[in-house]
Amino acid sequence: MNCKSEDLLLYAVTDRSWLNGESLCSQVEKALKGGATFLQLREKELAEEQFLREAIEIKELCKRYHVPFVINDNVNIACKIDADGVHVGQSDMDAGNVREKLGTNKIIGVSAQTVEQALLAERCGADYLGVGAVFPTGTKLDAVEVSYETLKAICDAVHIPVVAIGGIANDNIIQLKGSGVSGVAVVSAIFASKDIEAETKELCIKVREMLK
């Protein structure tokens, strides 16, 4: 396994919807200053060349803060810039193929909504799972909701860390207590905030309370 459970405490997923004239790199640095422990660069619309430049810049930033950095979906970009790893969804390349491309030392995360998907991802070499949406979310329009019971069943079934994702905010993190997750992945809870650094610090506190 190429990542530790504690790395996944507060997993930040980027979204340029709330830049408001600011650079994504600047927002990411605020999240890292606030205590984000893992970062995923997610870009669905960006041209390859611009994505590549941005990925290199944010990779260096994460390196400075000693935070693992993965690319969402784009295995080729992850290989080109030597990112720490990649996160893939169910409709993307399977974990076994990703492992062949990236090699043994890179982090592979896989999205899962069922115990069967989780077990298959683990067998194929996933290092961690992203499970959700655990709450209603407006960030991912095609998100499938995953119940607390299913989240817990997935955590009980696998031996790799699980992060909950989807609609997670300061006021509902505690509802995940006892599920077995190693941490939470958030998008708008960090990047839509008016004070990214302060909000990230508060989220870290809430996650630690939930994990006690």
Q: At 94, which CATH number?
A: 3.20.20.70
Element of type H or E holding 183? strand 183-186
* pLDDT score recorded for residue 91: 82
Average pLDDT of the residues in 2-9: 95
What is the C-alpha to C-alpha distance for residues 140 and 89, in angstroms, rounded to an integer?
12
10: left (phi over 0), alpha (psi -120 to 50) or beta: beta
Average pLDDT of the residues in 75-100: 92
List active site positions.
42, 111, 140
Helix (H, G, I), strand (E, B) or coil at 69: strand
* pLDDT score recorded for residue 144: 80
* pLDDT score recorded for residue 49: 94
* pLDDT score recorded for residue 1: 76
Over the chain, what is the mean pLDDT?
A: 95
Residue 93 pLDDT > 90:
no
* pLDDT score recorded for residue 94: 82
Buried (b) or exposed (e) across 152-178, using 16+ Cβ within 10 A?
A: bbbbeebebbbbbbbbbbeeebeebee
* Range of the structural domain that residue 145 is part of: 5-211
First to last CA, the chain: 24
Q: In the chain, how many domains are there?
A: 1
Residue 96 pLDDT > 90:
no
Confidence band of 61 (pLDDT split at 50, 70, 90):
very high
Which residue intervals of the chain are DSSP H helices? 24-34, 48-64, 75-81, 95-102, 115-123, 148-157, 188-191, 196-211
Q: What percent of the chain has pLDDT over 70?
A: 99
Confidence band of 111 (pLDDT split at 50, 70, 90):
very high
Cis peptide before 12 (omega within 30 of 0): no
Average pLDDT of the residues in 181-207: 98
Task: Give the pair of three-digit tokens for residue 50.
Answer: 């611009």
Residue 140 pLDDT > 80:
no
